[in-house]
Amino acid sequence: MKYTTEWITVRYGETDQMRFVHHSNYLRYFELARLEWLSSMGVSYAEMEREGILMPVAHASLNFKSPLFFGDVFRVTVTLKKNPMATLDFDYVITNQKDKIICTGNTVLAFLSPETKKPMRCPKFLLEKFA
């Protein structure tokens, strides 16, 4: 399954002294894409947290190809690699307005029990959304 965001414009505060988008912001862009995708499927991350479903990031990797600069526009494509079990495994590709690949990456989110803080299976309602 795959989702692509609308165009996003780089804000000045996301850049560093070299005028590049600071590397930490790419993880924020990944998160934005994940949350936007879930929302488009009618899934509220805030509601899941209120229901006690915890989904911390267990792994994150980024591979920078080319920088983004203040004023650039880009999209994030997020792909769910496989059906969720106890984790959600996402790949990402950020492309700019010229369709140039800027960054690729991966995150793995784990489902944790709110009581034990130990891994648990993906909730059924979420499995159905990804089916």
35-39 CB contacts, 8 Å cutoff, 24+ apart: 36/3, 36/5, 37/3, 37/78
Nearest to 88 by CA among 46, 33, 15: 33
- CATH of residue 51's domain is 3.10.129.10
pLDDT at 131 > cutoff 80:
no
* Residue 83 and residue 107 in contact, taking contact as beta carbons nearer than 8 Å: no
**Is 16 noted as a catalytic residue in this protein?**
yes
- Per-residue pLDDT tens digits for 101-130: 999 999 999 999 888 888 999 988 888 888
Q: What is the pTM for the complete model shown?
A: 0.92
**Domain extent at residue 79:** 2-130
- Per-residue pLDDT tens digits for 37-69: 999 999 888 888 888 889 999 999 999 999 999
Task: Calculate what percentage of the chain has a pLDDT beyond 70.
Answer: 100
The catalytically annotated residue of 16, 89, 91, 99 is 16
Domain count within the chain = 1
pLDDT of res. 49: 83
